[in-house]
Amino acid sequence: NAGVTQTPKFRILKIGQSMTLQCAQDMNHNYMYWYRQDPGMGLKLIYYSVGAGITDKGEVPNGYNVSRSTTEDFPLRLELAAPSQTSVYFCASSYSSEQYFGPGTRLTVT
Amino acid sequence: TQLLEQSPQFLSIQEGENLTVYCNSSSVFSSLQWYRQEPGEGPVLLVTVVTGGEVKKLKRLTFQFGDARKDSSLHITAAQPGDTGLYLCAGDRDTGNQFYFGTGTSLTVIP
């Protein structure tokens, strides 16, 4: 069991570039989440999904998009990167109230 | 606005001391979780509390959920250097949907 995996681990983007952060889980969890973590700010929910084909906005969705074509995968897309999107991004999955997190992607936009 | 407020934000103590971290809100939660996060890693779940007034113990860690399900506390007895990390509380108001995280408490235990 790999749990929740995320790629890449680090990435530097120029302003205006786009990229996709990958997230996969092998626990057959229906629920999946994307968070961003800024220093001293805890985790903020970007998007979440309650099952394949269903996604919904969290607290801070602007500038991001997601899709959930399978139970296992939940990619996060940044279309036009901005410096405000510099952060550490965590993907998580759950089957109830207990979330399992991936190792994170550290993204810098310059 | 932050739905869950944690205090203190930073805590530095000597090995062997006791400490308490608080997680407060004006909202009611269906359940509340505590996580520990180490640098460069994702948060790891410590405990989930679901019943108002519930107390759970995990070795030297004691977790309590407030009677009104709006707040929680984490008490560590005889802290060890291995307890060092960022402690996060998180609550859900509708099970399985959105989770709200606190601002975190950064704990350093000095040997």
What is the secondary structure of A11-66 as a DSSP string?
A: EEE-TT--EEEEEEESS--SEEEEEEE-TTS-EEEEEEEEETTEEEE-S--TTEEE
A43·B30 Cβ contact <8 A: no
pLDDT at A40 over 80: no
CA distance B14 to A12: 39
pLDDT at B107 over 80: yes
What average pLDDT does the segment B45-49 reach? 94
A41·B103 Cβ contact <8 A: yes
Q: Give the distance from residue A94's alpha carbon to the nearest chain B alpha carbon, in angstroms.
A: 7
Q: Does B9 touch chain A (CB under 8 A)?
A: yes
pLDDT at B95 over 80: no
pLDDT at B92: 87
In this complex, the residue of A31, A44, A104 whose CB is nearest that of residue B42 is A104
Across the A/B interface, how many CB contacts are shorter than 8 Å? 67
B2·A42 Cβ contact <8 A: yes
Q: Give the distance from residue B21's alpha carbon to the nearest chain A alpha carbon, in angstroms.
A: 15
